Structure 1
Amino acid sequence: MDQLTNKAVKGVVGLTVSLGLLIFLPAWTIHYWQGWAYLIAFCLPTLLITLYLAKYDQELLARRVDAGPSAETEKSQQYIQAITGLLALALVIVSVIDWYQEWSRVSSLFSIIADGLILVGFYIVFRVFQENSYTIATIKVDTNQSVTTTGPYAIVRHPMYSGAFLIFIATPPALGSYWALLISILLTIGLGFRAVDEERFLVRNLQGYSNYCQTTKYRLIPFVW
């Protein structure tokens, strides 16, 4: 295993451990099947996508490894990433506390369906990576980069965020919560702010992006926005 792949896989392992702690410490038990199902639905696709990129697109994997607010050069994006990161932590913790305190009564079937939606969200992310090797974790334009208009980009301008939207919305019911959907809404608003701010940057710096915005009408959700 090369150094980049080793670093990326270690990152996934660290994510799995951290997410497991976020789930099972507030639950105060390991007898929480919704937590285990969510952990698998979230981390297994993450690992598979990482291994795919390690084999077929190491340049993209290298770009994705450099993530987080500190990697951003745009101040507005640093703030948005920091806030959405905190909200994502709160989303999981509040969902688990809701389940533990039994504030919501989410059926087992609905939790399983929500796990399925999370897998769909990750599949959209995977298709984005297949179509666009410039899907980096920070907002910038690389030399020779062109506008991607195929695959999911033919439907919405920010399909990566569409996949994230599904994951955010499905997380609370997957973990047995309805109340945490309020945080999902805030995260979706954060995605919207990030998408709009990103478009301002791309219109200024990526040739052809303005025309793309005119031909592909929807940003995040087809037929809605």
Structure 2
Amino acid sequence: MTAASGSDKPPHGINRRRVILGLLGLPVFIALFLFLPAGTWAWPKGWLFVLILLGVISAVFLVLQRVNPEVIVARSRFHEGTKGWDKILLSFYFPAMAAVLLVAALDDSRFHWFPVPWWVCGVGYALLLAGIGIVTWAESVNKFFEVTVRIQTDRGHSVIDTGPYAIARHPGYVGGILHAIGMALSLGSLWALIPAGLASMVLIVRTQWEDQTLQEELNGYKEYAMRVRYKLIPGVW
């Protein structure tokens, strides 16, 4: 999720079959991950979440395919050169995000630990869509927005300060935090905020470590950091 731009190399072709399978497989995986712990297929909040997610993912793909198709290819797999510390952080982040779904299903559908009104779900969807929107905005201007942290010397890695990067140095993580919290609330679970909070803490640590890496290894980043002072939230940090 680095601030980067540069290379004039043409993007590799998008593997449409892989993309289609991903679009179909992700909601199926989430549906199974949600409904098995829920103990029933008759869970309206779960179905609503899956359907909205499918629609949003499809819309994001169409937007990125039009404005920045190379980022789709870049995010389709892990790349060589990923920082070792980032692999460790991701080993905590992905399970925490999966736990958001698991805990929400157990809470709202099976055990009803802390029932919440539907308006809480509405707040959750607002946060979820805002988070996805911010991430998509960052992806649309940054073809180097990869899954892992690395210095992409093979792709002409250089700094960009347009779009959301003119506001904060790591807008993707802002979107990621909103995404995690929004997932928990949209599924009607306050207990799911615990793993969502853990995932958010990982992103905050990742922000700090990635920023240090970029300042040390990416040409022009120190100057960019002097112009755009804040990592995540303007006026705060």
Fold shared per TM-score above 0.5: yes
CA 1:135–1:106 in structure 2 vs 1: closer, same or farther (change >3 Å)? same
Which residue of structure 1 lines up, in the alignment, with residue 48 of structure 2?
Answer: 37
- Identify the structure with bigger relative contact order (alpha carbons < 8 Å, sequence gap 6+): 2
Which residue of structure 2 lines up, in the alignment, with residue 217 of structure 1?
Answer: 229
Could you give the per-residue CA deviations for residues 155-188 of structure 1, whole angstroms, max 9, x where no partner exists?
Answer: 2111111111111111112111111212121111
1:183 aligns to what SS in structure 2?
helix
Q: CA deviation at 1:192?
A: 1.0
Q: Which amino acid aligns with 1:219?
A: K
Q: Specify which of 201, 223, 227 is matched with residue 189 of structure 1.
A: 201
Residue correspondence of structure 1 range 75-224 to structure 2 within 5 A: 75-99=84-108, 100-140=110-150, 141-142=152-153, 143-224=155-236
**Percent of paired sites with the same residue:** 29
CA 1:153–1:168 in structure 2 vs 1: closer, same or farther (change >3 Å)? same
Q: Which amino acid aligns with 1:22?
A: F
| Equivalenced residues, count | 222
Q: Which amino acid aligns with 2:71?
A: L
Once residues 3 and 202 of structure 1 are traced to their aligned partners in structure 2, the CA distance between those partners, rounded to angstroms, is 28
RMSD of aligned residue pairs (Cα, Å): 1.9
**Residue segments in structure 2 that go unaligned for 5+ positions in a row:** 1-12
Q: Which has the higher helix share?
A: 1
8 Å contact from structure 1 (residues 27, 96) kept in 2? yes
Once residues 63 and 16 of structure 2 are traced to their aligned partners in structure 1, the CA distance between those partners, rounded to angstroms, is 10
Q: CA deviation at 1:56?
A: 3.8
Determine whether 1:17 maps to 2:36: no
Q: CA deviation at 1:59?
A: 2.0
CA 1:160–1:74 in structure 2 vs 1: closer, same or farther (change >3 Å)? same
Which residue of structure 2 lines up, in the alignment, with residue 73 of structure 1?
Answer: 82
Once residues 201 and 35 of structure 1 are traced to their aligned partners in structure 2, the CA distance between those partners, rounded to angstroms, is 39
Q: Which amino acid aligns with 1:122?
A: I
Q: CA deviation at 1:95?
A: 1.3
Q: Which amino acid aligns with 2:212?
A: R
**Residue segments in structure 1 that go unaligned for 5+ positions in a row:** none
8 Å contact from structure 2 (residues 68, 141) kept in 1? no
2:15 aligns to what SS in structure 1?
helix
